[in-house]
Structure 1
Amino acid sequence: MRLALAQLEIESAAVEDNRERAEAAVAEAADRGADLVALPEIFNVGYFAFDAYQRAAEPVEGPTLSRIADAAREHGIGVLAGSIVEDLAETESVETPADEGLANTSVLFDRDGRRLAVYRKHHLFGYESAEARMLVPGESLGVAEFEGATVGMTTCYDLRFPELYRDIAAEGADLILVPSAWPYPRVEHWQLLPRARAVENQLFVAAINGSGEFDDAELLGRSTVYDPWGTTLAGTGDDPDLVVTDVDLDRVAAVREEFPAWRDRRL
């Protein structure tokens, strides 16, 4: 599988401009031969634009995800649209964990723009953030089949909770995608946590961050793909970029056979 991570420039509350950048990144990833491209957390509004959450919230069938689905179909590429602020009360076609409220929601589309999975962020960030106060946490695991791969989905702060990744790995995931809005100064944590999740579960982890400045935060970029040994396959700096790399999914079984930590677990 050829995987692309779209480290987008994200402007606070500039929804239309941010959507257009996402559509352009999907097109560029397809031009570069990617099978699947992943977008950052709350790429249309900007994670730290809390004042805009309520007015910019959309259902899963809303304009942002509809346009990403159209882009996936037009360019023949899978897309993890990770994520938007979802208006749960307005969503109609997907089972929701609450009758109302807002959620931090990612959707995986196939090459025909069909929804394969919906994931709502489990762990909501409360440290110097309004997310935990404003949003409803998700309850269901994000796991789907995409062209022979079992793809797991988590979001940003979820990285600090390894039990979620173990549950996803137990569902057979080969690759876990982690759309994020990770800010300075926690660079070391951003480099450590996805690598640790890859090593302890012996699978691929791809951490997709944004790029941009908000009133009181700056995203640090550094989107990276880690293999089941925790080795960096591809990554970038803090500026907008498109990371493209080939992921050999057979490596998951090979690494687990060579170093059988997964088999040696005591449950």
Structure 2
Amino acid sequence: MTDTIVTVAVAQVPSKFGDVRANLDAMDGHMREAAAAGAKLLVFPECHLSGYMFDDRAGARGAAISAEGDEMREIAARCAEHGIEVIVGFLEASGDKLYNSAAVVGANGVIGIHRKRHLPFLGADRFVDEPPGTELSLFETSVGKVGVAICYEIRFPEIMRSLALEGADFIALPTNWPVQSAILAEQFTRVRAAENFIYLLVSNRADEEGDATFLGQSQIIDPLGAVVGNSGRTQGLLTASVDVARARNKTIVVKAGEFEVSPFKDRRPATYRVS
């Protein structure tokens, strides 16, 4: 990529509970709108295709889809039509397993899948399985290297630090934060972006489902922790043009040669251990 200025977007849009078809249809309009605004990457909320507030595994399983199924092929076709890539949350059926996943999809199909590993006792996460493996969810996209984490995983700083150390320019965070999680949107997001010098792309909901009221506050945070944009409680898309080069500079220079800090270079991993 030679031009480091790219446009990205996050969607703060509702999900129709248990209705994958309706949610797929709604995605098309959002993708078209994002593309018209020049966005090359659009992030949707956690479990956007399925809904989240299930009462049992059977219900969650009934709304789950395969990462290799027709739904993903349909999304890929729309990516090709609109010239955009998307990250979308869904409940994933894989054999007899059930995962809370997010797919990175482009014109040629699924680029990668992130399966949520850190599971709170809430909604569908009470019934999904912990995925095997330890690999990082870091993917090459048209805007740069994008890492993916889901919702509650912002509470585990090791995830985003590992992605940043592997070269992530952006970290996408599809969420279903309820109003009780305001501290995550108001404080954790800025800290995670600033401590890792990455752009953080947060997509949440601002509607209601079951007994949950979702917080909203979808946002785009820059590598120094500044809020580029925050949706508040407003439904719709939040779009911003950003300079990817800023996420590749891990040094803060206040006065060249006199006041510089390089938190990545100054790490001392050999001293970080628990006995």
Is the shorter-chain TM-score for this pair beyond 0.5, marking a shared fold?
A: yes
Q: Which moved more, 1:198-207 or 1:182-191?
A: 182-191
Q: Match for 1:77: what amino acid?
A: I
1:262 matched to which residue of 2?
264
Q: Distance in 1 between matches of 2:60 and 2:142?
A: 34
Q: Distance in 1 between matches of 2:55 and 2:195?
A: 34
Runs of 4+ in 1 over 6 A off after TM superposition: none
Mark the runs of 5 or more structure 1 residues left unpaired by the alignment: 90-99
Measured against aligned partners, the alpha-carbon deviations of 1:209-253 in whole angstroms (never above 9, x if no partner) come to 123211210111110011111000112122321000012111123
Q: Distance in 2 between matches of 1:213 and 1:148?
A: 32
SS of corresponding position for 2:158? helix
Deviation at 1:30?
Answer: 0.7
**Does 1:106 pair with 2:102?**
yes
Q: Is the 8 A contact 1:174 1:203 kept in 2?
A: yes
Q: Is the 8 A contact 1:108 1:116 kept in 2?
A: yes
Q: Distance in 1 between matches of 2:200 and 2:27?
A: 21
**Does 1:137 pair with 2:128?**
no
2:81 matched to which residue of 1?
74
Deviation at 1:53?
Answer: 1.0
In structure 2, do the counterparts of structure 1 residues 251 and 132 end up closer, same or farther at CA, with 3 Å as the change threshold? same
Q: Which moved more, 1:1-10 or 1:130-139?
A: 130-139
Larger Rg: 2
Q: Distance in 1 between matches of 2:127 and 2:43?
A: 27
Measured against aligned partners, the alpha-carbon deviations of 1:183-229 in whole angstroms (never above 9, x if no partner) come to 11221222211211111111111111123211210111110011111
RMSD value over aligned CA atoms? 1.7
SS of corresponding position for 1:245? strand
Which of 33, 39, 43 is residue 48 of structure 2 equivalent to? 43
Q: Is the 8 A contact 1:8 1:21 kept in 2?
A: no
How many pairs are equivalent?
A: 254
Q: Which moved more, 1:208-217 or 1:226-235?
A: 208-217
Q: Match for 1:17: what amino acid?
A: A
Measured against aligned partners, the alpha-carbon deviations of 1:63-86 in whole angstroms (never above 9, x if no partner) come to 3322211211111111112x1111
Matches within 5 A, 1:1-267: 1-51=6-56, 52-81=59-88, 83-89=89-95, 100-110=96-106, 112-126=107-121, 128-137=122-131, 139=133, 140-147=135-142, 149-254=144-249, 256-258=251-253, 259-267=261-269
Q: Match for 2:80: what amino acid?
A: R
Q: Distance in 1 between matches of 2:196 and 2:221?
A: 12
Mark the runs of 5 or more structure 2 residues left unpaired by the alignment: 1-5, 254-260, 270-275
Q: Distance in 2 between matches of 1:15 and 1:114?
A: 18
TM-score (norm: length of structure 1) = 0.89
